[in-house]
Amino acid sequence: MNILLSNDDGVSAPGLKALARAMASLGTLTVVAPDRNRSGASNSLTLEHPVRIHPVEPGWFAVTGTPTDCVHLAVSGFLTEPQHLVLSGINDGANLGDDVLYSGTVAAAIEARHLGLPTLALSLCVESGRHFDAAARIARELVDGLLARPMPEALILNVNIPDLPYEAIKGIQATRLGARHRADRVVEISDPRGRPLYWVGAVGGGADAGPGTDFHAIEHGYVSVTPLSIDMTQHSAVGGVADWLALFRR
């Protein structure tokens, strides 16, 4: 079996290395990942200039592009062998609730799904421990399960893992996305010449974070597995919009 690994933290990120160690005995791994941290890249695709792929070590490649570029290039021409599974992560940080809209980790998995491949996006909800090896062990268990018993439908599975020792993880829950409070205000600083610079503020805490949500599972020491769909249509509102548009009918 051929497994493609990618991430958004960059090719040298510890979470990616832990993931590769955990999957090594499963098949032939190829890592195609950004050459630097591209967290927050979402589904961006590099269209206005070419992208280079640099070999790092055998089977490991650094790309001067986004996570979406990495999966797209790897599956659509760069790799000669067909890939059977795409794993993205393990991200250094949670991808809960609205985070999935900004996440490059999730974007790499979305691109894999677009290309017809089963996929997991994996994120460690980093606190103080940075238990990447425990998270990688969970990832391996999920992959083993996925191979033994494939999903009935084509899904993107967004997996968040609490930052705990393996033995302290309570279990695995199927969840829905919660939602965060809005982020802190942007932070204004100044450069050495007194000109203003801005940093995006810290993410907000869980707002819609009750039982059944990804936030709730993580808060209580469980791995959260959320199936994602890409159809962002609000189906229940299509009729209302049609009524509203009738006002403009010519």
What residues make contact with Mn ion under the rule CB under 5 A? Answer: 8-9, 39, 91
Pairing status of strand 119-125 against strand 196-199? unpaired
Considering beta carbons, is residue 39 or 66 the nearer one to Mn ion? 39
Least distance in angstroms from the C-beta of 91 to Mn ion = 4
Whose Cβ is closer to Mn ion: residue 1's or residue 183's? 183
Looking at beta carbons, which residue is closest to Mn ion? 39
Q: Given the complex with Mn ion, which of 67 and 206 has the nearer CB atom?
A: 67
Residue 9 vs 69, nearer CB to Mn ion: 9
Q: How far is the CB of 14 from Mn ion (least distance, A)?
A: 12
Least distance in angstroms from the C-beta of 67 to Mn ion = 9
- The β-bridge partners of 69 are none
Residue 113: phi and psi, rounded to 5, are -65, -40
Is 249 buried (19+), middle (13-18) or exposed (0-12) by CB count in 10 A?
exposed
Taking the complex as a whole, the smallest distance from the CB of residue 41 to Mn ion amounts, in Å, to 9
Min separation Cβ 142 and Mn ion, Å:
19
Amino acid at 29: L
Q: Residue 8 or 164: which CB sits closer to Mn ion? A: 8
